[in-house]
Structure 1
Amino acid sequence: MSYAKYMAPSIEHVARTDAGLASALRVSVARLSRRLRNERDSRDELSIGQLSVLGVLYRSGECSIGELAALERVQPPSMTRTVNCLEESGYVERHPHETDRRQVVIALSERGSAILAADRRRRDAWLAKRLRELTPEERSVLRQAAPIIERLAHA
């Protein structure tokens, strides 16, 4: 009996149909995401979820707890716990809402901005090194795919 009979089909083979493409992308994106998470500094005290909240604040600016919860697709009580931890460690700050003083908004602090930038630099450096190992044609395909993958992520 041949060993090849038990080998998993290649991504190229699986991705020939839309269902196969969905499966191949799911697996590949999950593996890449896991690999990038592994590039974090082991001394970092922040969880992936906490870093994600800092990233949302960096991209979106000040947000209420409810807005953060919606953007991160978690329940507001869970986001409140996350923000409380981030605030206690000095990564975020609370400010009164500009027009509704009953509301509070969360903003990225200087410390939060610095740790987020360091984390991104480290992981970007790893990925840039891996991209340099690809052919120019492969990098061109990824340049075209990146905005499409981003659209899928926000759907």
Structure 2
Amino acid sequence: MSRDDPATENTAGVANAAAEVRTGVMRLARRLRSERDPGELTLGRMAVLGRLERDGPATTSGLAVAERVTPQSMARMVQHLISAGLAERAPDPDDRRAAIIRITDTGRERVQQDRDRREAWLAQAMTELSDVEQDLLVLAARLLDRLADS
């Protein structure tokens, strides 16, 4: 392909756009993380609690697949959450040899407090945007969510 080929230009344009999106998403993720209390759970443990809160009970192996970590790492995270009273282990009703992990009321409260704190910062920051910019940001968030599922 030549340098003047529209396909080459389009590919370069998409690559540049991807780099810009990645940079913006990463900077926002770091900023949102900075809004967490220093004594909070690790990001991995909070992600597991959030998944249990959103998706319901799951096996340790199911959580490992969903969070893209090794089963051994997930077992350690789950054990920590159970020890802290944020999750509990119960027999799997479909397979008595297996166990499912559920979030406790205390775990649910912890997730909600963490979300509330970070969403309060984001809502305040978004007040500096115009109505059109806020609408575009919501649309972009929906598109990013779709990309995350691909």
User: What SS does the corresponding residue of 1:107 show, helix, strand or coil?
Assistant: strand
Letter in 2 for 1:55: G
Tell whether 2:90 aligns with 1:95.
yes
Provide the rounded CA distance (Å) in 1 between the counterparts of 2:86 and 2:149.
Answer: 25
* RMSD over equivalenced CA pairs, Å: 1.0
- Residue matched to 1:142: 137
User: What SS does the corresponding residue of 2:96 show, helix, strand or coil?
Assistant: coil
- Residue matched to 1:130: 125
Which residue of 32, 39, 44 corresponds with 1:36?
Answer: 32
- Residue matched to 1:21: 17
- Residue matched to 2:67: 72
Q: TM-score normalised to the size of structure 2?
A: 0.90
Provide the rounded CA distance (Å) in 2 between the counterparts of 1:58 and 1:81.
Answer: 19
Q: CA deviation at 1:91?
A: 0.7
How many residue pairs get aligned? The number is 139
Q: CA deviation at 1:150?
A: 0.3
Moved over 2 A (4+): none
Please list, as runs of the form range in 1=range in 2, the aligned pairs for 1:6-17 lying within 5 A after superposition.
17=13
User: What SS does the corresponding residue of 1:17 show, helix, strand or coil?
Assistant: helix
Provide the rounded CA distance (Å) in 2 between the counterparts of 1:47 and 1:150.
Answer: 23
- Residue matched to 2:53: 58
Which residue of 42, 45, 63 corresponds with 1:47?
Answer: 42
Q: TM-score normalised to the size of structure 1?
A: 0.87
